[in-house]
Chain A
Amino acid sequence: MNFLSLLNVEFQKIRRSGILLILLASTVILWIPSIFNLDLNFHMQAEGISPEYNFFIQGFMAMSWFMYPAGLVVGTVLVSQTERLNKGILKMLALPIGTVRLSLAKFVVLLVLSATQILMMTGMYYIGAAICSVMRDYNFILSPLFVMREIGILFLSAIPMLAFFWMLSVCIQTPIFYIGIGLASIVPSVLMINTKIWFAYPMSYPFFVIVSEYGKLATNLDTAQVEFVPWIPVAIAITVTCLCVSCLCFGRGERR
């Protein structure tokens, strides 16, 4: 079985999971308050940000702070629990497939779920911006190139966090611990982005990146900017370590 057909199998497993509905609901809920509080976008002179950029960045900040990481936690629960129910994982482990490839295939599924969530968020952003443009007779729609760049950065910055969550769900057998640790680790990210060691905490990357973009767009606001030198090597090290540990531990609990 090559990697592509393995991926295909993994996608079939989550086809009827209903995860897309949950992610869609969260993105709809995200933009509704922004549309209702449309007027606030016109009173941001103190920060020096134009209304259309403010509309975009506020929504993305709300998302990258809590819902996006929490959506990834739900994704890891989905991927690990669908197989633990009814001992499906034992059947998978009995097949002549390397556990490393199996673990990596599941991680790719998680990456696709993460990308789907961002794309839904972006789609909803365009719908919301179109509604606002009609309501206010002011162009809220930003150029797709700019939006693509932002969501690309957001997606890439979330990969170390995702690898960490995946490692938790593989290594910890009791579901409440990896859910609890995952969710509890999201909450302090607000505090971590204000410290000097934010790059050591993968859960704060997406929020940090979006906040630093906010600082770039708002001329009067000074937020910490991304410094690539300690960040990129540390992020790569965290990702590789987490992936290696999860590949090594995958299926170990079941095989005992």
Chain B
Amino acid sequence: MRILLEWKKTKRTGFVPAFMGGGILAAAVPAVNMAVRSEMYLGRQGTCVWILMDANWQVMAMLNLLLVVAGACLLYHTEYADNGLQKMKSLPVLESSIFFGKMVLMILMSVLLLVMEAASILFCSWHWFGGQAGGGQLGGGDGSVFVIELCQSFGYAFLLMLPCVVLSLLISEACKNMWISLGIGIVCVFTATMLPTSSFVLSLFPFAMPFQVFAGADAAWTTRFICAAVVELVVLGGAEVLIVGGRLNEFFIAS
């Protein structure tokens, strides 16, 4: 119900088409890369998912991040633009439930993005790697391993994207003006691009996590990141409840 309401609010804001367009753009990255210089990648060692992710994931993750930041800004901009949030606050609904409704919507959109990107990786490995490097035979035999690897890679990417989704929504909720939340989000993305992906502590920054690749990394490394992502999600969710709670208290004191 709450999510349906948030969905209705995004009508005519271009939210869904933007994610669709961004998804198509991100999905085009590996296809174009392979079409232009496939000879660079075909002879490499390793599974085709690893080769494709290694070659393209940095650009794709960056596009995902920028979409998430812009989408989060938009979701709260629609509320702040004509004082919609004030009206929502006067309704008998918890303010944090608005946040979680928007969060679910963003998560659904991220799933859509990742599915489009996974389809593109699937297409590239079928078209260019057909038969080699673990790709190609999608039905049974070697192919089942390939499908599992693809699902694992994108499941991992999805989990590591969640803290960034929550944090960018938190930033957008905190700033009334769209350019401030957009500016902060972009500065965060820029910081993430400056951090080395090989350092565990620095990669814990929520905006730097989506740049991690599952394929090719060892199990201990990915397990640490999965744990870190869950911890960050809990912390950020708690922060949201606390911030809103603090604001409610302020309201009661003021009245």
1/0 contact string of B2-13 vs chain A (CB within 8 Å): 000000000011
* Of B86-94, B175-183, B243-251, the one with at least 4 CB within 8 A of chain A: B175-183
Provide the main secondary structure of the chain A interface: helix
Whether A179 contacts B21 by the Cβ 8 Å rule is no
Whether A183 contacts B66 by the Cβ 8 Å rule is yes
Q: How far is the CA of A177 from the CA of B67 in the complex (A)?
A: 11
Whether B186 contacts A74 by the Cβ 8 Å rule is yes
Tell me if A96 counts as interface (CB < 8 A to partner B): no
Give the residues from 39 to 97 in chain B that come closer than 8 angstroms, CB to CB, to chain A: 59, 62-63, 66-67, 70-71, 73-74, 77, 81
Q: How far is the CA of A89 from the CA of B134 in the complex (A)?
A: 59
Tell me if A234 counts as interface (CB < 8 A to partner B): no
Whether A18 contacts B180 by the Cβ 8 Å rule is yes
Whether B70 contacts A33 by the Cβ 8 Å rule is no
Q: How far is the CA of A109 from the CA of B38 in the complex (A)?
A: 45
Q: How far is the CA of A175 from the CA of B62 in the complex (A)?
A: 20
Q: How far is the CA of A30 from the CA of B73 in the complex (A)?
A: 24
Interface residues on B, range: 20 to 34
* Of B142-150, B156-164, B190-198, the one with at least 4 CB within 8 A of chain A: B190-198
Whether B177 contacts A17 by the Cβ 8 Å rule is yes
* Of A62-70, A138-146, A221-229, A238-246, the one with at least 4 CB within 8 A of chain B: A62-70
B189: shortest Cβ distance to chain A, in Å? 8
Q: Which residues of the partner chain B approach A30 to less than 8 Å between Cβ atoms? A: 190, 194
Q: Which residues of the partner chain A approach B74 to less than 8 Å between Cβ atoms? A: 175-176, 179
Q: Which residues of the partner chain B approach A33 to less than 8 Å between Cβ atoms? A: 194-195
Between B189, B194, B195, the greatest number of chain A beta carbons within 10 A of the residue's beta carbon is seen for: B194
Contact among A62, A67, A77 for B179, CB-based, below 8 A: A77
Q: Which residues of the partner chain B approach A85 to less than 8 Å between Cβ atoms? A: 81, 177
Whether A22 contacts B187 by the Cβ 8 Å rule is yes
Whether A70 contacts B180 by the Cβ 8 Å rule is no
Q: How far is the CA of A4 from the CA of B32 in the complex (A)?
A: 48
Give the residues from 173 to 202 in chain A that come closer than 8 angstroms, CB to CB, to chain B: 174-177, 179-180, 183-184, 187
1/0 contact string of A1-34 vs chain B (CB within 8 Å): 0000000000000000111001101100110010
